[in-house]
C-alpha cells in the first residue's frame, strides 16, 4: 500500500557498514609466532525505551529481541515499556538529563522537539551503506527525514486513521454508515443509550485530542487547506479563521455532549479503544494498530471499517504518521544500537511486526496491495484512490513548538467542551498561536 504524503521526493540512500575482523598467524624468518588467546569482547547492554506501548507491540518486540540476542550473544537488550500516556515525557526527560539510554521510540510528533534540541544522533552515516533503505516506501523515507532533511529515526510503522463501527448495531437499526461529520453526529445520537451505558461515539478529549479537533476544522475549510502547511489555508490565513471553523467547533462539542460518554473528556487512546471493544461505543476513529485488538475482542460481523467522514464540501483530510527507532545522542554504544535498529527494520522483521500489531508496513510490494485491498484495511485503498475527496496533509510537526499546540488542544479543548470558553475564544487562541509560529519560522 502506498499512502501519499505531500512533499518533495527524496533520493534513495543506502546503509550499514560491515566490519570484518581477519586474524591469522604471523610468519617471520620461517618461524611461526604462537597466537595469543583473544579475550572475548565485553557484553553490551542496550537500553531501549518504547513510546507506543501496547500488549501486541511489546510482545512482538520481545520475540524479535530474543532472536536478535541469540545471533548477537555480545549484545543484550533491556526493553523499557512506560505507560502509553506518559511515555513521551519519560523519553524527553531521559534525553534531556543525559540518563542512561541508547535507543528511543521516536514519533512524527516528537522528532522535531528531540532533534532541534540535539538529543538524537544523526543516522546519515549508517544509512549511507544500508541496502534496505532504497526499498523503504516513499512515505517511510519522507517521515525519517522530516526534520532538516536528516534521518534521525527509522520508522517501524506508519499510521493513518479510518472509521470503525459496530456493524451489528448498525444492521439492527438499518442505519447507513456515516459519510459526513453531520451524519456521524445524527447516527451517533440514534445509537446513544446512556441508561445502558451505550454511546454513539468513542470520543477522545484527553491526550491526543488534537487529531480529531484539527481534522474537523480542516474538513470545514474544504479545499482551501494548504497540504504542506496544514494549519494554514492556501491564502495564508489560518484554518481557524475559516468562515465555517466555528461551525466545525460547535459540531465537535455536540458530538461529545450528545453522543459520547461524559468521562471521555479525559479519555486517551486506551480508553476510547476499550469503549469500542467493550460495547460502550458504536463508532471509533483510530489508526490501524487497533485492528489486532478489535479482532481479538469482537467477532467477525460485529464490526467493520469505513472511510473518514467529510466536511460540507465533501472533503476530508488525513495525516500519515510514523513511529520508529532513533539513537540517543548520549549513547556510548551507537554502532551496537544501529545493529539492533537495522535488524528490526529488515523487511522480514518489519513485516512480522506490522502484521502482528496491525500497523502499516514501511515497505511496499505486492503483498501490501493484496493486504490493503480487502477486509478492515480496504478503506485505506478507497481513500487513496479518491484524492479529491480524501486529501493527505502534512502534520505541522515542522514547527518546533508543535507539541505546545498538541497540549493546547487538550487543555483549551476541554474548557471549550465544558463551555468555560466560547468557540470564538478558542479559535482566536489557535489563530494567534499559529501566526506566531509562522513568524518565528520566518515564513
Residues 384-408 have pLDDT tens digits of 899 999 999 988 988 888 889 989 9
Predicted confidence at residue 19, as pLDDT, reads 29
Q: How far apart (Å, rounded) are the C-alpha atoms in residues 33 and 27?
A: 7
Q: How far apart (Å, rounded) are the C-alpha atoms in residues 156 and 323?
A: 6
Maximum Cα–Cα distance for the chain, whole Å?
Answer: 96
Predicted confidence at residue 299, as pLDDT, reads 97
| Residue 343 CB contacts under 8 Å (≥ 6 apart), including other chains | 64, 68, 349
* Collapsed DSSP state (helix, strand, coil) of residue 225: strand
Vertex 380 angle, CA 376 and 386, to 5°: 140
Predicted confidence at residue 80, as pLDDT, reads 97
Q: How far apart (Å, rounded) are the C-alpha atoms in residues 273 and 293?
A: 8
Predicted confidence at residue 15, as pLDDT, reads 29
Residues of the chain with pLDDT under 70: 1-41, 365-369
Predicted confidence at residue 366, as pLDDT, reads 57
Q: How far apart (Å, rounded) are the C-alpha atoms in residues 160 and 351?
A: 17
Phi/psi of residue 154, each to 5°?
Answer: -105, 115
Predicted confidence at residue 68, as pLDDT, reads 98
Q: How far apart (Å, rounded) are the C-alpha atoms in residues 27 and 410?
A: 72
Predicted confidence at residue 180, as pLDDT, reads 98
- End-to-end Cα distance, the chain: 34
What pairs with residue 165 in β-bridges?
283, 304
Predicted confidence at residue 398, as pLDDT, reads 81
Q: How far apart (Å, rounded) are the C-alpha atoms in residues 199 and 194?
A: 7
Amino acid at each position: 500500500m502506498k499512502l501519499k504524503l505531500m512533499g518533495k521526493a527524496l533520493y534513495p540512500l543506502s546503509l550499514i557498514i560491515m566490519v570484518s575482523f581477519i586474524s591469522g598467524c604471523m610468519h617471520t624468518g620461517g618461524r611461526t609466532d604462537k597466537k595469543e588467546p583473544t579475550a572475548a569482547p565485553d557484553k553490551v547492554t542496550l537500553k531501549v525505551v518504547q513510546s507506543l506501548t501496547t500488549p501486541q507491540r511489546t510482545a512482538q518486540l520481545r520475540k524479535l529481541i530474543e532472536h536478535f540476542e541469540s545471533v548477537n550473544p555480545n549484545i543484550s537488550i533491556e526493553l523499557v515499556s512506560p505507560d502509553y500516556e506518559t511515555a513521551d515525557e519519560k523519553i524527553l526527560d531521559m534525553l534531556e538529563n543525559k540518563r542512561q539510554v541508547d535507543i528511543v521510540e521516536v514519533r512524527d510528533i516528537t522528532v522535531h522537539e528531540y532533534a532541534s534540541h540535539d538529543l538524537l544522533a544523526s543516522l546519515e552515516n549508517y544509512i549511507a551503506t544500508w541496502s534496505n533503505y532504497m526499498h523503504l516506501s516513499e512515505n517511510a523515507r519522507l517521515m525519517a527525514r522530516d526534520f532538516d532533511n536528516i534521518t534521525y529515526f527509522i520508522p517501524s510503522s506508519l499510521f493513518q486513521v479510518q472509521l470503525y463501527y459496530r456493524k451489528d448495531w448498525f444492521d439492527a437499526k438499518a442505519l447507513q454508515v456515516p459519510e459526513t461529520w453531520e451524519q456521524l453526529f445524527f447516527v451517533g445520537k440514534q445509537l446513544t443509550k446512556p441508561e445502558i451505558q451505550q454511546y454513539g461515539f468513542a470520543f477522545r478529549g484527553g491526550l491526543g485530542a488534537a487529531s480529531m479537533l484539527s481534522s474537523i476544522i480542516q474538513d470545514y475549510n474544504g479545499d482551501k487547506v494548504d497540504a504542506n502547511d496544514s494549519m494554514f489555508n492556501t491564502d495564508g490565513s489560518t484554518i481557524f479563521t475559516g468562515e465555517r471553523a466555528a461551525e466545525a467547533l460547535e459540531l465537535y462539542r455536540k458530538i461529545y455532549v450528545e453522543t459520547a460518554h461524559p468521562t471521555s473528556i479525559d479519555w486517551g487512546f486506551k480508553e476510547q479503544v476499550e469503549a469500542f471493544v467493550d460495547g460502550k461505543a458504536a463508532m471509533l476513529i483510530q489508526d490501524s494498530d487497533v485492528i489486532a485488538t478489535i479482532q481479538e475482542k469482537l467477532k467477525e460481523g460485529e464490526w467493520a471499517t469505513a472511510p473518514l467522514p467529510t466536511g460540507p464540501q465533501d472533503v476530508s483530510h488525513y495525516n500519515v504518521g510514523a513511529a520508529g527507532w532513533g539513537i540517543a545522542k548520549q549513547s556510548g554504544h551507537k554502532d551496537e544500537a544501529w545493529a539492533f535498529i537495522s535488524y528490526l527494520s529488515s523487511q522480514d522483521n518489519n513485516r512480522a511486526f506490522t502484521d502482528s500489531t496491525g500497523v502499516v508496513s514501511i515497505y511496499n510490494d505486492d503483498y501490501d496491495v493484496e493486504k490493503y485491498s480487502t477486509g478492515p484495511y480496504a478503506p485505506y485503498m478507497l481513500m487513496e484512490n479518491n484524492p479529491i475527496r480524501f486529501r493527505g496533509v502534512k502534520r505541522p510537526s515542522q514547527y518546533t513548538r508543535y507539541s505546545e499546540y498538541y497540549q493546547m488542544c487538550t487543555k483549551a479543548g476541554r474548557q471549550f467542551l465544558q463551555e468555560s470558553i466560547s468557540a470564538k475564544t478558542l479559535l482566536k487562541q489557535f489563530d494567534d498561536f499559529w501566526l506566531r509560529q509562522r513568524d518565528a519560522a520566518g515564513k
